């Protein structure tokens, strides 16, 4: 009789053989004591693996996971609000600079065509912005803006890094 290797016996157990192969293995098991012994022991190994139960982590594991998730979402929200407030401050600063630049352009190009109303308010805003960006305040404002940009840059980088790390898994 042709020698029946373990590979065929394993495939027979896993029901991966075609009809012809199945018949060959079945006949070999019935006719040969050696093959039957090998098959039965292999089948027992299969049953033993199957009988091994699952194990469980600590009782409060689910609670621990959910607590961590809650903490994380609160932190993420705080970070989001922080970023939003920084972006708002930057937005206001940019709007101020743009306004000042516009006032300078309007007052230098068409001073005679501007109505008195617009001129008065533009002058007020211009004076305020000029004062704000005056030599005295410019250094302080520049430092504050740089600081804010550095902080927001750091948080943006940190946020990007975490997102990248999460997606890599």
**Binding piece for another protein, criterion CB under 8 A, among 64-72, 109-117, 120-128, 143-151:** 64-72
Angstrom distance (rounded) from CA 31 to CA 39? 12
3 binds another protein (CB under 8 A): no
DSSP reduced 3-state for 156: helix
Closest separation in Å from C-beta 69 to another protein: 6
Cβ at position 74, least distance to another protein in Å: 11
Contact 132, 141 (CB under 8 A): yes
- Is 34 among the residues that bind another protein (CB under 8 A)? no
Stretch that binds another protein, among 47-55, 79-87, 93-101, 105-113 (CB under 8 A): 47-55
Number of residues that bind another protein (CB under 8 A): 35
Nearer to another protein, 45 or 102 (CB): 45
Q: Which of 70, 85, 98, 143 binds another protein (CB under 8 A)?
A: 70
Residue of 23, 34, 40, 124 that binds another protein (CB under 8 A): 40
Q: Measured from the CB of residue 126, what is the shortest distance to another protein in angstroms?
A: 48
Give the residue, chosen from 1, 27, 61, 84, that forms a contact with another protein under the rule CB under 8 A: 61
Long-range contacts, stretch 4-13, CB < 8 angstroms, 24+ apart: 4/28, 4/32, 4/35, 6/38, 6/42, 9/35, 9/38, 9/39, 9/42, 10/42, 12/39, 13/42, 13/43, 13/46
Q: How far is CA 10 from CA 14, 20, 40, 47, in A?
A: 6, 16, 11, 13
Residue 168's CB: how many other CB atoms inside 10 A? 6
Q: Which of 129, 92, 81, 123 is nearest to 106 (CA)?
A: 123
Q: What does the binding site for another protein look like in residue numbers (CB under 8 A)?
A: 6-7, 10, 13-14, 37-38, 40-42, 44-46, 48-50, 52, 54-58, 61-62, 64-66, 68-70, 72-73, 166-167, 169
């Amino acid at each position: 009789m042709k020698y029946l290797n373990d590979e065929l016996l394993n495939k027979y157990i896993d029901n991966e053989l075609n009809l012809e192969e199945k018949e060959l293995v079945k006949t070999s098991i019935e006719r040969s004591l050696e093959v039957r012994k090998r098959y039965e022991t292999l089948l027992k190994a299969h049953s033993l693996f199957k009988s091994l139960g699952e194990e469980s982590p600590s009782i409060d594991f689910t609670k621990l996971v959910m607590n961590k998730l809650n903490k994380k979402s609160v932190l993420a929200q705080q970070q989001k609000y922080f970023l939003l407030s920084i972006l708002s401050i930057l937005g206001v600063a940019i709007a101020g600079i743009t306004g000042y630049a516009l006032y300078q352009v309007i007052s230098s190009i068409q001073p005679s065509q501007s109505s008195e109303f617009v001129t008065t308010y533009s002058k007020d805003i211009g004076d305020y912005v000029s004062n704000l960006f005056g030599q005295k305040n410019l250094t302080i404002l520049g430092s504050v803006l740089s600081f804010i940009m550095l902080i927001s840059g750091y948080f943006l980088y940190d946020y990007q890094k975490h997102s990248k790390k999460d997606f890599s898994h």
